[in-house]
A and B are shown apart, each in its own frame.
Chain A
């Protein structure tokens, strides 16, 4: 071995798993409705409305079959500011990951809030859905939430 090659080799590497997940009737219904720019959840035996919908009732373990449409407005329950988005983040300007409870739902869902700056973020603030230009039946049909 020549001494010029004694330096340890290294190189960039990417391991990719190109999964397609099957969605089943509940998540599939949620995504199908998103494609039509509607947000649906479902109602468990105790009346709790889950968004995104749950496949099974947490109390009875029965299937949950009653779907309900909820509003595209909601309230920020908690949030975390991403000051320097990485290349894989869906928003390239500073944004918040937030738990947003949609009006008509009893549990918050995780999504992004584009408020422009951290000063505009507040727990309890009202937000509304910003839809993607083209919807395709994916959670990213909701581009993000914005202050309402």
Chain B
């Protein structure tokens, strides 16, 4: 081996999984409503938990969540993280805030972005609202909501986030 030549130290070993994703009945109903600009959860007939995104059945009771509940654009920050590390091909530039959000009337949180606020001001209990993209850009995706931004409302006490009213 000639010493002046550069030694190989790395090897590209990409892995691609190509498959067909089928949403299933409950998620299809949820995504179809997102396509119409609506956030719709599904309620357990037994314990009244509202799931968003819905799973089709209640994790606690094991019964189908057939009733749909339209939620507003308002939500509460349940937890959050500030992301500093860039993800390849992700157009969002760090640092940005990604949060577990509890939609009003829901008992299950979903992940989304928080923007229009100093990252340092984001806190658990903060009230936020969804900012939707222009209607012509809506698809069957949570990305129809561009981000959530703070609402001018008092914080929600931590132990009330996502709790059933009469539980």
How many A-B pairs with Cβ below 8 Å? 94
Within 8 A of A (CB), among B1-48: 1-2, 5, 7-25, 27-29, 31-33, 35
- Cα(A7)–Cα(B12), bound, Å: 41
Q: State whether A9 touches B11 (Cβ < 8 A).
A: no
Q: How far is the CB of A138 from chain B (nearest CB, A)?
A: 6
B88 interface residue (CB < 8 Å to A): yes
Residues in chain A near residue B12, CB distance under 8 A: 18-21, 138
Verify if A77 is at the interface (C-beta below 8 Å from B).
Answer: no
* Docked pose: A12 CA to B9 CA in angstroms: 35
Cβ of B140 < 8 Å from any Cβ of A? yes
Contact assessment for B28 and A14 in the assembled complex, using a CB-CB cutoff below 8 Å: no
Does A78 sit at the interface, judged by CB under 8 A? no
| Contact of B29 with A1 in the complex, beta carbons under 8 Å | yes
Contact indicator B20/A10 (Cβ below 8 Å): yes
Q: Known interface pairs A9-B31, A18-B88. Does A33 touch B1 (Cβ–Cβ under 8 Å)?
A: yes
Cross-chain contact A14 with B14 (CB below 8 angstroms): no
CB pair A18–B14 under 8 Å, yes or no, is yes
Q: Is A20 touching B11 in the complex (CB atoms < 8 A)?
A: yes
Point out the residues of chain B lying under 8 angstroms from A29, CB to CB.
1, 7
Number of interface residues of B (CB under 8 A): 32
Chain A contacts of B19 at CB under 8 A? 12-15
Give the docked Cα–Cα distance between A27 and B8 (Å). 9
Q: Are B18 and A31 in contact (CB under 8 A)?
A: no
Interface of B is mostly: mixed
Residue of A5, A27, A33 with highest tally of chain B CB at under 10 A: A5
Q: Give the distance to chain B from A57, nearest Cβ to Cβ, in Å.
A: 22
Contact pick for A15, options B17, B20, B140, CB 8 Å: B17
Within 8 Å of chain B (Cβ to Cβ): is A36? Answer: yes
CB distance from B125 to the nearest CB of A (A): 33
A60 beta carbon closer than 8 Å to chain B: no
Known A-B contacts A1-B29, A1-B33, A18-B88; the reply to A12 vs B20 at CB < 8 A is: yes
Interface string of A98-120 (1 = CB under 8 A from B): 00000000000000000000000
- Tell me if A16 counts as interface (CB < 8 A to partner B): yes
Partner of A35, one of B8, B27, B140: B8
Question: Cβ of B15 and Cβ of A19 under 8 Å apart?
Answer: yes
Please give the distance in Å from A51's CB to the nearest CB on chain B. 16
How distant is the Cα of A11 from the Cα of B31 in the complex, in angstroms?
Answer: 13
Chain A residues with CB under 8 Å of B88's CB are 18
Contact of B23 (CB < 8 Å), options: A9, A20, A23: A9
Q: Say yes or no: A8-B24 contact (C-beta < 8 A), given A1-B33, A20-B10.
A: yes
Which residues on A are within 8 Å of B, measured CB to CB? 1, 5-23, 27-29, 31-33, 35-36, 88, 137-138
Across the A-B interface, the 6 shortest Cβ-Cβ residue pairs:
A137-B8, A10-B22, A31-B8, A5-B32, A13-B21, A9-B23
Beyond known contacts A10-B20, A10-B23: 4 more, CB 8 A cutoff: A19-B15, A21-B12, A23-B9, A23-B11
